[in-house]
Chains A and B, each alone.
Chain A
Amino acid sequence: NAGVTQTPKFRVLKTGQSMTLLCAQDMNHEYMYWYRQDPGMGLRLIHYSVGEGTTAKGEVPDGYNVSRLKKQNFLLGLESAAPSQTSVYFCASSRTVRGNYEQYFGPGTRLTVT
């Protein structure tokens, strides 16, 4: 099992450009999440999904959109990138068994917006 994978690993964008980050998991997890990690800020939840076709806002959703068309994939979109979106983005997935909310993380995508 590959676990959680993220594409791409690195990306440099110019202000105003758009891009989509892809997250895929092969563990048949219902829940998927997108976080951003900034120095001194820890991980902050951008959006999450509790199942195919459903998404919800997290702590810092502005400037991002997401889609969960297939259970195994969770896409994060930036329609018009801004320098403030320079960050490391992590995707995660988890089971829904009570008492076992371990989240499995991807390797991250380092995004730089100039």
Chain B
Amino acid sequence: AQRVTQPEKLLSVFKGAPVELKCNYSYSGSPELFWYVQYSRQRLQLLLRHISRESIKGFTADLNKGETSFHLKKPFAQEEDSAMYYCALSGAGSYQLTFGKGTKLSVIP
């Protein structure tokens, strides 16, 4: 069975401080990992995916297969980063996503 764990329900950081949102997964094969974000009063949207190795809005995430982690990082938090963040996993050959329970990021001015 596949599982995604986000250990922090709430993370508060000051503006300008570094941010790290943790995500650990359990999957026996080679997963595809994603971060989705939900801003207040907006729909859930894709932030980034590990296969793209891209930086979106200053966020990056590296897949660490040895530690089965896909932590989301940003060197300097901005107030507009305040949102709910979900880590998600897709198994090989599957189009389904398994979501973590989410972490609410609050950036303090």
Q: State whether A105 touches B45 (Cβ < 8 A).
A: yes
Given known A-B contacts A105-B44, A105-B45, A106-B43, A99 and B51 have beta carbons under 8 A apart: yes
Given known A-B contacts A43-B99, A50-B95, A58-B96, A101 and B90 have beta carbons under 8 A apart: yes
Inter-chain contact count A-B, CB under 8 Å?
45
A26, CB-defined interface residue at 8 Å: no
A102, CB-defined interface residue at 8 Å: yes
Q: State whether A42 touches B99 (Cβ < 8 A).
A: yes
Q: State whether B43 touches A40 (Cβ < 8 A).
A: no
Which residues 70-114 of A sit at the B interface, judged by CB distance below 8 A?
90, 92, 94, 96, 99, 101-103, 105-108
Which residues 51-67 of B sit at the A interface, judged by CB distance below 8 A?
51
A34, CB-defined interface residue at 8 Å: no
Interface size on B, residues (CB 8 A): 20
Give Cα distance in the complex from A12 to B52, angstroms. 42
B81, CB-defined interface residue at 8 Å: no
Q: Which residues of A contact B (CB under 8 A)?
A: 31, 33, 35, 40-45, 48, 50, 58, 90, 92, 94, 96, 99, 101-103, 105-108
Q: Which residues of B contact A (CB under 8 A)?
A: 6, 9, 32, 34, 43-46, 49, 51, 86, 90, 95-102
